[in-house]
Structure 1
Amino acid sequence: MNQTASTIYIKEANFYLEVYLDPFNKRIRIDDYRGNTNLALEKAEELAREHQSEKLIMKARIEDTFSLYERGLQPEAVVDRYFLGSDAHFFSKFYTLERKKNEHWITENHMIQSIYQLDPPIDKPSPSKGYELKKATVNCAEELADLYRQVFQIYPTPLHDPEYVKKTMEEGTIYYVFFYQGKIVSAASAEVNSFYKNAELTDCATLKEHRKYGLMKIILIELEEELKRKGVYCSYSIARSLSFGMNAVLFQLGYKYRGRLMNNCYIYDKLENMNMWVKNLANC
């Protein structure tokens, strides 16, 4: 089976679907839809069976949620103001028992409670001496890919490939990086949806020996400021549910917890639950 993810657009007489096919993670995601919701869902499930997907995800509008319940989908997370100011409700349906099982759920619940006991949001920190923050260009693609290879043995998107990194930049994804002694040691990106005016902060990676300097907080703040300059105020990020550090960073930057996507994607060596964090940049 081809493991390359792709987006397809389906236009029928009574509905429209934008579908992200993700064979590597054995899932299908409905990123947008219009028209007859029941017919659109029918088609989405047909695609899930056709591609032998274990999980179907749909970014739904509040007025359509009853239709999703009726077809066996369940709510997992919310992104406030995703659709030009209207909330997106992430609903999912599982097609195998294994994909629905999880041993870490209670542990992850306790971790969220612990994170909410941390100190309140922080002011913008300053980088340590010797670190230089820059906006990445296509010339950085090779080195970015190398960073992601070092940090993530397995990752849900092919960031190990410099051509893929270049492609994301050409499609509007913004990367900021920290250089140390001329080498990229930390990076993150903002994947911008220019139509709905939202952005996902993602692809956060720092080499182990540089993680104690708070570089990621600085990068994420810089990405937020760039988004605001572009008129994008809905910012969200999806963090590994077992990563206390990354979830704590988002909380301390003012993000709010909005649910958990179960067995969502492969990172490191296994399927991971992912926590949803959301921030309204218009309030900053």
Structure 2
Amino acid sequence: MNQTAYTTYIEESNFFVEVYLDPFNKRIRVDDYRGNIQFVLKRVEELVQDQHAEKLIVKGRSNDFMILMENGLQPEAVVDRFFLGSDAFFFSKFYSQDRKKNDHWITEDGMIHSIYQLDPTMEKNFPPKEYELKKADENCAAELSTLYRQVFQVYPTPLHDPEYVKKTMEDGTIYYVYFHQGKIVSAASAEINFFYKNAELTDCATISEHRKYGLMKMILQELEGELKKRGIFCSYSIARSLSFGMNAVLFQLGYSYRGRLMNNCYIYDKLENMNMWVKNLATC
């Protein structure tokens, strides 16, 4: 099977749906829809069978909450103000017993509890002067790919391919990076939905020996500043549930925990749960 993920648009007489087909992660995600939600779900479940997907994700609207529940989907997370100020509920349905099982859930619950005991006030970090923060351009694509290969054995999108990185930049994704001695050692991006005015802070990676200086916090703050300049105030991030450090960074940056996506994607070295964190940039 072709492992390349892609978006497809289906329009029929009584509905429209935007679907992200993701064979590598064995999932299908409904990113947008209009019209008759029952027909949308029927058509999407046909795609699930065709693609042999193990998980369906639907970014649902609040007025469809009960209909989604009635059709066997369960809410896993919420993003405040995702749809031009209205909340998005991430509903899921599983199609294999193994995909629904998880051994880390209780541990991850404990981690969230521990993170909420941290001091939420954040000291301003100033890394040593050898570190230089810059906005990345297409000339950085190859080195960004090298960084992601170095940090992640497995990643849910093909960031190991410089051409894919360039394509994301062309589509409006913003990357900020830290250079150390001329090499990129830390990076993150803001993937912007220009229509609904939201952005996902994602692709966060720092080489292990450079993690003690709080580089990621500085990069994410810089990305937030870029988003605010563009009038985008709904910012969210999906972090590996087993990564205490990344979840703690988001908490200390003022993000609020909004749920967990079970067995959501292949990242780092296996299929993992992912925590949802959300921030209203208009309040800061």
TM range (shorter): over 0.9
Structure 1 counterpart of 2:6? 6
Correspondences of 1:33-182 after superposition (within 5 Å): 33-182=33-182
CA deviations over 1:192-248 (Å, ceiling 9, x no partner): 000000000000000111011100000000000000000000000000000000000
Structure 2 counterpart of 1:267? 267
Structure 1 counterpart of 2:204? 204
Structure 1 counterpart of 2:26? 26
Larger deviation, residues 111-120 vs 126-135:
126-135
Q: Judge conservation of contact 1:255–1:279 (CA < 8 Å) in 2.
A: yes
What amino acid sits opposite 2:107 in the alignment? T
Q: TM-score, normalised by structure 1?
A: 0.99
Residue 78 of structure 1, CA deviation:
0.1
What SS does the corresponding residue of 2:247 show, helix, strand or coil? helix
What amino acid sits opposite 1:277 in the alignment? W
Q: Aligned partners of 1:244, 1:84: CA distance in 2, in Å?
A: 31
Q: Aligned partners of 1:143, 1:266: CA distance in 2, in Å?
A: 22
What SS does the corresponding residue of 1:222 show, helix, strand or coil? helix
What SS does the corresponding residue of 1:25 show, helix, strand or coil? coil
What SS does the corresponding residue of 2:68 show, helix, strand or coil? helix
Q: Judge conservation of contact 2:217–2:249 (CA < 8 Å) in 1.
A: yes
Unmatched segments (≥5 aa) in structure 2:
none
Structure 1 counterpart of 2:248? 248
Q: Aligned partners of 2:123, 2:75: CA distance in 1, in Å?
A: 34
What amino acid sits opposite 1:199 in the alignment? A
| 1:231 has 2:219 as partner | no
Residue 121 of structure 1, CA deviation:
3.4
What amino acid sits opposite 1:55 in the alignment? K
Q: Judge conservation of contact 2:152–2:269 (CA < 8 Å) in 1.
A: no
Q: TM-score, normalised by structure 2?
A: 0.99
Q: Aligned partners of 1:53, 1:93: CA distance in 2, in Å?
A: 10
Residue 174 of structure 1, CA deviation:
0.2
Q: Aligned partners of 2:180, 2:242: CA distance in 1, in Å?
A: 28
What amino acid sits opposite 1:281 in the alignment? L
Unmatched segments (≥5 aa) in structure 1:
none
CA deviations over 1:130-176 (Å, ceiling 9, x no partner): 00000000000000000001001110000000000000000000000
What SS does the corresponding residue of 2:272 show, helix, strand or coil? strand
Q: Judge conservation of contact 1:8–1:19 (CA < 8 Å) in 2.
A: yes
- Give the CA RMSD over aligned residues: 0.6
Q: Aligned partners of 2:198, 2:183: CA distance in 1, in Å?
A: 30
Structure 2 counterpart of 1:258? 258
Residue 123 of structure 1, CA deviation:
4.5
Q: Aligned partners of 1:14, 1:45: CA distance in 2, in Å?
A: 17
Larger deviation, residues 65-74 vs 251-260:
65-74
Correspondences of 1:175-194 after superposition (within 5 Å): 175-194=175-194
